[in-house]
Structures are given as C-alpha cells and as structure tokens.
Structure 1
C-alpha cells in the first residue's frame, strides 16, 4: 500500500462523513493507505477568512501545508475550496522567498517549517495523473454501463489559474475521463462550468443560490441525465440538500447527486450499504438500479421458477427452442444460479420472440416469457440492447410511431391522411 495524506477540510468530516467513508474505501481499493493528521484545521476558506484578514488566511494555510510536509507524503485534497486555497497560498509563498521567510518565522513558534518540497494534488488531479484512468478502468468490477452522468467540476477545482489548475480551467476534461473509465457516459451541457450558488446561500440569499443551482439540474434533467457528479462538499450540499429542500416546496426535479468517489467505490465492487447512501437527500437508488449495482426485486416467485425448470415443457413448445435457436430451460437454470448480470448483457434473451406460446401451454399459467421480458427491460434501461431496437425506440420517442407516414403515397391509393402530430406531442409530454 502506498501512503498519502488526505486533507478533508471542515464539511466532509463534520457534516458529510459518508463522503469521507466512500473516499477512504475507494482509495484503499486502489492500493492507497491514508496518513491522517488530526491537527489539520480549516484550509481556510477564502471568501470568509481571506476577505476579512489575508495574513491570517495565509498563515493558516501555511500551517496546514507545513503539517503535511513534515509527514513526507503527497497531500491529496478532497475539497475544491480547500484545494484552491492551499494551492494558491503555496504558489504565493514559493514564489516570494521573503514572504515565505516571514511566514516560517511565525510557524517556528509552533515547531513548524514550510520548505517547499510538498506535492499538493486535488483529488481528481491525483486520480487522473498519478493513478490513471487506465488503471481505474482495469480495476472496475461493476461497470456503470448505461448511465448518463453530468460532470460538475465546480469553480475551485481548477481556479484560479495557474495556481490551482491542473488542466485548462475553461475546458476541463480529466473528470469526464475518470467517469468514463467507470463505464458511464458523460453528458456535454451548456451550464457545465456554472457555479453551484453556494456562496449566495452562505450570504443568506437562499432563493438566489437555489436559482443558480437549478439551472444546471434543469438542463441535465432535460438532457435525460441519470445523475450529477461533484467532488466539492459545498457543491454537494447545494445540489443535493437544497434540491430536496425546494422539492418540499413543490419544485420537484429528482436528479440524484453522487460524488466521484461514491461512483468509483460502487464500480470497484464496494457494496452500496457500506457507503451509507441513505444520507443523500435525493434518493440515488434509481441510478444504482439502472447500473445493476442494486437489483430490483424479482417480479416472480423463485419456487415457481424451480417448478418451471423441472417441467421443461417449453423446450418442446417454444418456436426458438424447436428451431435450435436457444434453450429457454437453460436460461431459467442460469437465472436461478444467479447469472442475472451475464444474461442481461447477453444476446440470448433477445432470442425469445414473445409469441406467448409458453404462457398458453403452461400448466402453472406462468410462461417463462415473463423472465425474458424482465431481463430485456433491465438491458434496455442500461442501454445494452441491440442497435436495431434502439433505433426503433428513438423513432417512437421522436414521432410517436415506429414507421414514417408517407401521406403522398397514401393519397395515390385514395387513403386518408395520417399526418397528425398528436402521437409525437403525447410522447413528448410524457417524457
């Protein structure tokens, strides 16, 4: 295990301990042991402390940096605001030997000295540049296939540049690449770099803060994203907790918010129960079900399935079985053996033609077709179904029909027009 020091800030260990848990579990799964420093204080926060007393802000940041440097391990910062503060202060001090000497004179009263050898990383920077998206992809046990996720870098992940940035602050890509390494798709959207509005909330302007956060959530909802991912605890509280608060007032959006480390931990095979996701105010379980992290309860009784397997009459009735295309009994056996994920991602489930023959002949009035349609539904919500079916579904969503109506051809045959837009408008309203 390689050792690193993690700077948690104030909010994660104080109010969002479940986010600390997921970060610890995720880093441990990647082979990193965390060196804890209980003496760490606030980074400190810029808009509150620096605006009041810049000298106090700089000395406090220098103390935290000196504590980390003394330990001799790289410093990984789990909070956007803390990363921006510590990096900005560090660059300022390293670039001004006279100022650094003055700061060290004060630090020496506390038995500390900042020499400048410490390496400081934002958590996303560390995962992207030191661990690597390729390594993470190789470690994934439960890929988040089928999920469309909007990435929110946050204001302070790469700003102010150049002190805090580890890539182009106006076109950051590393966070997206890390999400894609987990098997998910990232959503490109216009408000990606927009602030979450937390500082407005801190200033007592709750409605203004929510109005700002809502822009991003609404856009991602319109784009049919499954979730929003953040790395900043302040952003998490703004998007998750404030979203739930305003939902109680009738502004219901229900876009789950998950940190990258929660997504990483889940993809690495860590059980959802270990992450205490119930602490989220917006329920993330729809995202977990869609990704196959947690499974929906089976819509049929296991004993019925076992009797179905013993009977085996469908092997003689099913058209696909009679023509040698598949063995429905073999699939039921695999289902009972727990190979559900493998079946969802296989082409075999699409060999059921849904002719209802098994249902009509079944002495239990069960029909193993029910198993196949359930598996197909799981595949479709994860977008792992055949492209030919995808194009059909997309046409239905766009037009309300599965075939294009050619009224000119119909007129030639003396048939009435069917060019009404009502089917399309109906589907659009439902979605």
Structure 2
C-alpha cells in the first residue's frame, strides 16, 4: 500500500522545479560529452544539427516523461502502471522497474566519474599549496583513488536527498545551478583572452553547411541531444510528479531544455577554444581532424594546458573541476530520487532509510565496477546509453500515444478543448517521435 498523495513532498516554486530538472539534465554529458562530440563532428555544423534535433526529438521525449509523472503524481513505477491502465498494468510496472534498474546503473558509473572530478579539483588545490606528490597522486588514475573518492560523492548526494524534495533537492539545486552558470561564464571569459582561442571560436560558431547532411554527424547529434537531457531513467518523471497537477508542463519543459542547451552551448564555447589554446602552446590535440584520446580530453589535454599557465592556471583548473563536480552532483540527485521515491511510496520506507539503502546499493555496484573496471565499466555505460535509455523513451511515447485510456491522451485533451496545436502535437508524439527514435536507436546500437 503506497502512501497517500497528500503526504507527498513537492517543489514549492516553478523556478525551483526548472533549476532542479535542468540540474538533472545538465551533467557531464553537457560539459564533457557535448564539446567532445562537437570538436569531432565539424564544430558549428554539429551545433546546428544538435539544436534542430533537440527541438524535433529530445524536447517531445522530455515532455512525455515529465507529463506522465505530473498526471500520476506518483513515483515512476506506479506512474507507468497507472498510465498503462488495468489491461497493461503489469507492463507499465515492469517498465518502471527497468527504468529504476537503469537509474541504479547510471549512478554506479556516474559516481566513479564524479569522484575523478573531485580528485582533479583537489589535485589543483594541493599543487597550489605546495603538496606536489599528493597532487600528482590525485591526478593519476588508480583503483585506490576510485575506492576513496566514489563513496565521497555518493555521500554528498545522499546528504541532499535525505532532506527531501523541497528542503534538499529544490534548495540545493537553486544554490548550485546559478553557481555553475557563474563559474562557467567566468572560465569562458578567461579562456577567450588566450592566444589561439579565436580559431576555436570560429570552428565552433561558423557552420560548414556541406557537413550538415553527413549521416554520422546527424546520428551523433541526435544521440547527444537525447542523452544530455537525462531522459529514460525516470528522474524527470519523478520531478514532474512533484509539481502540482495542472501546471503548464509545456512551458516548464521548454525552460528546462533551453537551460540545458544553453549550458551545453557554453561548455562548447569554453572547451573547443581551450583545445586550440592548448594547440597554440605546443600540445598535440588533433590527429586527422579528430581529438587525440577523446575520452581523456578532460583529464590530460586541459590539465596540461592549465599547468602551463602557472598559478593562475591552477586556480582555473580548480574552478573547472569544481564546476564539473557540481554538474555531476545535480544529475545524480535526480537519478537517486527515482529508487528512493519508489521505496518511500510503494514499500513504505521512511525517506532516511530509503536514501541509505539506495546509497549502499549504489556503493556496492560502483565498487563492483571498480574491481572489474576494464571488463564492466564501458559495457554498463554502453548498455544504458545506447539501449536502455532510447527503449524507455520509446515506451513513454507509446504509453502517451497509444496505451493511455486506450488512445492518445494528448489528442483526447485537444479534442476536449478544441485545441488545434495540441492535436498536431498529439499526432507528432504518436507517429513521428517513435519513428525518429527508432532511427536513432538502430543507428547507435548497430
């Protein structure tokens, strides 16, 4: 028996919801993944296609997820079960459980990567105060470093989550998101003043339209737009359920997507010029138009650039990795809330116990990945981002377009209110979005 909706915690303001949901979307995918993809796929051409596919695909998928949560006012497992009705109740519940497993998968590897960010931030700090040996250890990948820093990050997330939706998630998102934005803009201003930055700005902002039709570029942009909005693991659904029913979900979703896209754009404006600054000071950055060791962009190329700038560079490095740590934290908060809300509402755990049970499970999963890193880490990341997330989003479209009330929920509301725009949107969600999503899924997976 789940707790009644009257006892549910909730967001107390629209801006609190938008900042929390944008924080969920804005993570390492934006600040690490997006600039890497842009640098490897034509800069401005990639940015142009990314903006188009965000509008065509990612925005409707985000709407579908938030809408299901908001209508049900329940955690993702119960929300999907309710949306699927009596006939498909079990299907909805099982899909919700799969999303919950996806959330745990995401937390298991995300916590490790977030620990790297914290370690690199501290590395710059210790170098500044003269502890060079400790600094070198913190900036070098090792099993011991993973064992020490992964739990630190899990504890940070748990400390916020156990305080609840308003006192924890909303309050901290409202503090951390403006801080992230200010730090990002400050770093951009600094990097753009360095020699070589102008070349990076030109590559990033001036599209080569001959590349826009490249299928590889289109698929990369679709995948990035889709995954950067944290769709498919239930985090946005649970946040939607904490907003009062009847809020203008369309406007709120547009605000979230706009903020998410703006941060990704700014990250590109920071990192792509920074790569050209690094190249200007003699570092090998590109090989045949592709980044050298693209996954190591954050951990090798940029730290080398920062260290070549002396004391100022160390301050910039510290700020940069704290920025990434904040982005990672705001993303893990929403993902942790998915299993926590399920345990609180469907299994009658109190929030404190639920938070620590989930955090303990994430710690065990993370330590398993650390122990078998070479075999498991890449596999778990790929399974989540290329298979589970797109399939879950496809399911959301099918629920809204075909299963809910045995018809199209959005179209039903449109007919009731005689709203032609809503009718068109209902048609788009029902037919076009699943086809687009299948194209992404097939191309990314195979």
User: Fold-level match, TM-score > 0.5?
Assistant: no
User: Which TM class, normalised by the smaller chain length?
Assistant: under 0.3
The structure with higher relative contact order (CA 8 Å, sep 6+) is 2
Q: TM-score under structure 1 normalisation?
A: 0.23
* Greater strand proportion: 1
* Greater helix proportion: 2
Larger Rg over CA atoms = 1
Q: TM-score under structure 2 normalisation?
A: 0.23
